[in-house]
């Protein structure tokens, strides 16, 4: 959400006035709202009425919008610069040294920087530490998703995104900010909450067995699977070792870069489609969120309402994914994006009817926001399922970079709201239509695919290797991390015949989701710049 919204009214001494459009709270020429209050009691009552603020943000404390230079270089830009740097570096690092190590490194960077950013009164230090926090944000988002999606089975992957989403993050951090009342305490609380998951990953969760296996470290991969089986409380069943074709000692597979991806026709198409999906979703979801601060009269009501509604819809879709074989990634994207475009059209119509503030306007705006945000689910899922393990973290990082560029563009375009508000939603409509067109023609279905075989080839990095599509022609049963004593049946992608597949318990999904969606980066977006 990254709100930079200040109070509509501000008081200094006994003088109160509306905050001008430039958001500078120093306005000696603004009309005094308490000019008619002549007695001391009336003046005090007037000041008390207009000085109320829902939340004391960093922008209010530092008065950033009144300072030349700083007002054009807002904290969000510093944060996004850090995220871009982190995406460029950490995705590649995760593919080289492992998901778990890179994830822990991100936490050790982000958590102290977040806490320290609230400890100083210097604006330059604040910006610098927020940029460093952005590096940690990149790791928790990109590497965290690759890490945790490889720890769960294919048909529970959607449930991971069901619990790990912006809606639940909004609810959690709205509660934190409502309790704290100001940005410094909110930062400390968020850093403290993030330390919980740091301990869990450090002392409980193993490295990704899929990554270890792709690196030729089969024995370590089996030890990680044993750890997951023990945590899950299920019976461990060893996997068959790699086939020995008489080629001597199996060497670790060569690393794969994005340049290698572009040499393959299928992967090049998949990556370009992913970039389109992430750009459009980053632009439309962020633009809708930025311009929705006045959706309701009470700030907290609006945040809770949008968060709870989106969370409920995502949970319903997440569990429906396990019961409806036909509800694949393409279906969710096309239907959600199509409905979002329709509700954006309704919002534009209501604006032309001058019906802003009416219940049906709020309902249409909420629906547009919800369905736009749901598109993030296929974005993340397809980022894991369309790309091979060798380059999964790097490719997801590149997608995140594209989405951050879209976020920055959305923050600039949000100023159009004060000039021509329907134009904001026309941009979202145009982007959504383009996304539907691209996905309908080129997006492959990847539901229930095995990440172990996603994009598999003879040898990673081999120029002659042709990567296979993830799921379209998969004929073997899905491999899973552990196997229950009593097997369950899961319907395969191409056949109506039931194939046996087993999964870790469903109760593991919420803890993993909490680790992937920490308040560390939710706080920076939600609470600091309101």
With 50 as the cut, is the pLDDT of residue 483 above it? no
With 70 as the cut, is the pLDDT of residue 245 above it? no
pLDDT at 452: 59
Structure tokens at 49: 């009425």
Give the chain's domains with CATH numbers. Answer: 9-53 (no CATH), 60-237+510-530 (1.20.1250.20), 258-472 (1.20.1250.20)
SS (H, E, C) 357-372: CCHHHHHHHHHHHHHH
pLDDT tens digits, 44-62: 888 887 776 667 888 788 8
Q: What is the pTM of this model?
A: 0.69
pLDDT band at residue 67, thresholds of 50, 70 and 90? confident
Structure tokens at 213: 């296996």
Phi-psi region of 266 (alpha: psi -120 to 50; beta: other; left: phi over 0): alpha
With 80 as the cut, is the pLDDT of residue 162 above it? no
pLDDT tens digits, 318-332: 777 777 778 888 899
Q: At what angle do helices 421-442 and 359-374 cross, to 10 degrees?
A: 30
CA 283 to mean position of chain CA atoms? 13
CA 143 to mean position of chain CA atoms? 12
pLDDT tens digits, 255-288: 567 777 788 888 889 999 999 999 999 899 888 8
pLDDT at 344: 94
Lowest mean pLDDT across 68-82, 228-242, 424-438: 68-82
pLDDT band at residue 498, thresholds of 50, 70 and 90? very low
The whole-chain average pLDDT of the chain stands at 76
Neighbouring residues of 442: CB distance < 8 A, sequence distance ≥ 6:
269, 273
Q: What percent of the chain lies above the pLDDT cut of 70? A: 74
With 90 as the cut, is the pLDDT of residue 340 above it? yes
pLDDT band at residue 480, thresholds of 50, 70 and 90? very low
Neighbouring residues of 247: CB distance < 8 A, sequence distance ≥ 6:
none
pLDDT at 496: 33
């Amino acid at each position: 959400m990254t709100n930079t919204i200040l109070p509509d009214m501000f008081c200094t001494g006994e003088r109160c006035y509306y905050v001008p459009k430039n958001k500078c709270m120093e306005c000696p020429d603004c009309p005094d709202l308490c000019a008619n209050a002549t007695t001391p009691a009336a003046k005090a009552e007037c000041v008390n009425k207009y000085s109320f603020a829902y939340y004391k943000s960093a922008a209010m404390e530092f008065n950033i919008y009144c300072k030349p230079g700083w007002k054009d270089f807002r904290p969000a830009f510093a944060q996004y610069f850090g995220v871009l740097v982190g995406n460029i570096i950490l995705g590649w690092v995760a593919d080289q040294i492992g998901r778990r190590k890179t994830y822990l490194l991100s936490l050790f960077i982000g958590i102290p920087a977040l806490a320290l950013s609230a400890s100083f009164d210097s604006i330059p230090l604040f910006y610098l530490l927020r940029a460093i926090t952005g590096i940690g944000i990149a790791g928790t988002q990109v590497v965290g998703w690759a890490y945790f999606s490889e720890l769960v089975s294919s048909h529970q992957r959607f449930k991971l995104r069901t619990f790990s989403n912006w809606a639940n993050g909004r609810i959690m951090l709205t509660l934190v900010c409502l309790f704290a009342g100001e940005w410094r305490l909110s930062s400390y609380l968020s850093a403290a909450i993030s330390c919980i998951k740091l301990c869990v990953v450090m002392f409980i969760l193993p490295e990704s067995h899929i990554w270890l296996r792709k690196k030729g470290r089969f024995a370590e991969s089996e030890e990680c699977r044993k750890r997951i089986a023990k945590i899950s409380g299920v019976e461990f069943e060893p996997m068959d070792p790699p086939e020995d074709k008489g080629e001597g000692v199996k060497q670790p597979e060569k690393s794969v870069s994005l340049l290698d991806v572009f040499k393959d026709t299928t992967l090049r198409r998949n990556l370009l489609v992913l970039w389109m999906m992430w750009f459009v979703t980053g632009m439309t979801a962020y633009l809708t969120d930025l311009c929705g601060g006045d959706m309701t009269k009470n700030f907290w009501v609006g945040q809770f309402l949008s968060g709870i509604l989106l969370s409920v819809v995502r949970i319903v879709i997440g569990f429906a994914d396990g019961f409806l074989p036909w509800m694949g990634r393409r279906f969710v994207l096309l239907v959600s994006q199509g409905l979002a475009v329709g509700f954006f059209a309704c919002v534009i119509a209501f604006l032309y009817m001058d019906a802003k503030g009416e219940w049906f306007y709020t309902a249409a705006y909420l629906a547009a926001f919800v369905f736009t945000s749901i598109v993030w689910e296929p974005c993340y899922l397809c980022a894991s399922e369309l790309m091979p393990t060798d380059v999964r973290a790097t490719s997801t990082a590149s997608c995140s970079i594209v989405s951050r560029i879209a976020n920055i563009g959305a923050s600039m375009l949000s100023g159009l709201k004060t000039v021509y508000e329907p134009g904001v939603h026309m941009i979202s409509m145009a982007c959504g239509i383009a996304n539907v067109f691209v996905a309908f023609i080129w997006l492959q279905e990847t539901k229930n695919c095995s990440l172990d075989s996603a994009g598999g080839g003879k040898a990673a990095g081999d120029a002659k290797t042709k990567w296979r599509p993830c799921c379209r022609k998969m004929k073997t049963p899905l491999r899973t991390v552990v196997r229950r004593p009593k097997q369950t049946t899961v319907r395969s992608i191409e056949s109506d015949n039931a194939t046996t597949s087993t999964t870790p318990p469903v109760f593991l999904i919420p803890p993993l989701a909490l680790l992937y969606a920490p308040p560390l980066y939710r706080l920076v977006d939600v609470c600091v710049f309101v």
